[in-house]
Amino acid sequence: MTLLGDAAWKDRTEAAGLGFSPGIAWEEKNHPLKTDPELFSTVAGGLPGFRRLVEGVIVPLWHDLAVTLDRETASGHYDLVVAHHLAFPVELLHERTGIPYATVCLAPGLYPSDRVMPSGLGRAPLPGAWGRWVHHLLWKIGAWQVGKILDPVAHGFRRRAGLPPKRDAMWAGWSSRLVLHLYSPAFAPRPPEWGPEHVVSGFCFYDADEDRTPLPATVEAFLDPRAGPPPWLFTLGTTAIHQPGDFYRAAVDAVAGTGQRAILLTGTAENHAALPPLPPHVLALPYLSHAAVFPRCAAVAHQCGIGTLAAALRAGVPAVACPYAFDQPGNAALLARAGVAVVAPKTRRARSGAGLRRAFERLLAGGAPARARELAALLARENGAVRAADALEREFPPRTGAASGLASFPTSP
């Protein structure tokens, strides 16, 4: 089994016992996330930002992925490719070579359904027949708009591969045999009209590195109950971290003069350097194991990326949802519908220190902490990784001596 990915993933991948093939220069080509704030625009359901993402990030990566797939599969040793739903060249490989593939979707609201709201709109699903009609219409409008952006690019790739054009490239290339939705049905139930090829497996967690790494002594001392109440934690995952705005300054202001304590996971040296002088009740670090630190906090303010969201749900802590873009607005709406989050919209007032403080206070005074513990108990009975692996083996029985190619794009492992 081999993972195709950025060279930065090599050591962790091989430590897990998997083969690794470099060639997708994600870390080099994701620079627009750092330099182009328009990527994070939520205007018109995020479509302008999606256009810039396609042109500035996805298309260059498609070129790299196509070359890498051709090189890696030329040996004929692979009998399956498992790929992110935006890994468009995988469909082309299948059409040219017959190698089967499964599609992976990490978040809800990304595949059409009359019972699901498109994630970019940041709204929970509407109830009843009227809601289904509205969802259907929104998906139709969204498909038309996305097609105008993505189809011309996809047609160019297909033409160069000697293949005819195909409409609706955003969804037409998803596997007809198996689509793995790697999130919990307790968070986003499976729409009943989806075909049997769609499997909602549950979240997939990889804790091997984190289990071996204890929290630093300074953090343990800060988290000691004798040092004060459980802190509020503020983090922005792996995308919003590049365009945080005033998030971390507002986090410091949110606990100023309250007696409340806070941990800030700043992610980058630039974010850390931009912080004001910190009082003793605020601790800032680039990163901490989510599995280790989240359960020891009162609540977490996060950007609603699916990995951070899953870690908070598993830890049983409620959230102040601070979505920025992409799938995050839809994820935030689903968290609020589940009763485990208060959403702080992307406005100056809501994301100010006073606004975040009010959101935490409202969150912790209501039923969200208890509901978060209930959801954590449900997730503890799931094993998304095992269920996904079982689904793969049922649909694609392994052959003796064969390997599987795993194309993970454009997400990190």
The answer to whether residues 253 and 348 touch, using CB atoms and an 8 Å cutoff, is no
d(CA 358, CA 356): 5
Torsion of CA 411, 150, 63, 74, to 10 degrees: 90
What pLDDT was estimated at residue 27? Answer: 53
| 180 beta partners | 104, 199
Residue 100's pLDDT band, with cuts at 50, 70 and 90, is very high
d(CA 17, CA 21): 13
The closest of 238, 409, 365 to 309, measured between CA atoms, is 238
Helix, strand or coil for residue 282?
strand
What pLDDT was estimated at residue 265? Answer: 96
CA dihedral over 146, 193, 121, 271, signed as positive or negative: negative
d(CA 328, CA 309): 9
The closest of 387, 368, 408 to 185, measured between CA atoms, is 387
Residue 60's pLDDT band, with cuts at 50, 70 and 90, is confident
pLDDT in tens, 107-128: 999 999 999 999 988 899 999 9
- Residue 45, sorted as left (phi over 0), alpha (psi -120 to 50) or beta, turns out to be left
The answer to whether residues 104 and 327 touch, using CB atoms and an 8 Å cutoff, is no
The answer to whether residues 48 and 41 touch, using CB atoms and an 8 Å cutoff, is yes
Find tokens 């330099």 and name the residue: 35
Helix, strand or coil for residue 394?
helix
What pLDDT was estimated at residue 413? Answer: 32
From the CB of residue 100, how many other CB atoms can be counted at a distance below 10 Å?
Answer: 16
Residue 40's pLDDT band, with cuts at 50, 70 and 90, is confident
| Mean pLDDT, rounded, of the chain | 88
Residue 211's pLDDT band, with cuts at 50, 70 and 90, is low
Torsion of CA 181, 184, 190, 194, to 10 degrees: 10
Phi/psi at 317 (5° precision)? -115, 140
The closest of 310, 329, 302, 313 to 369, measured between CA atoms, is 313
Which amino acid is present at 170?
M
Distances (CA, A) of 125 to 93, 215, 337, 379, 408: 36, 39, 9, 22, 29
To the nearest whole percent, how much of the chain has pLDDT over 90?
Answer: 58
Helix (H) or strand (E) holding 71: helix 59-73
CA 333 to chain centre: 15
pLDDT in tens, 380-411: 999 999 999 999 999 998 765 545 554 444 44
Least confident residue range of 5-19, 71-85, 200-214, 344-358: 200-214
Helix, strand or coil for residue 196?
coil
The closest of 302, 309, 101, 300 to 188, measured between CA atoms, is 309
d(CA 135, CA 129): 10
Regarding predicted confidence, which is higher, 329 or 61? 329
Residue 30 has what DSSP assignment?
Answer: T
Residue ranges of domains in the chain, CATH in brackets: 213-380 (3.40.50.2000)
pLDDT in tens, 151-204: 998 998 889 888 888 889 899 999 999 999 999 999 999 999 999 999 999 999
Q: Which of 65-69, 70-74, 161-165, 329-333 has the highest mean pLDDT?
A: 329-333
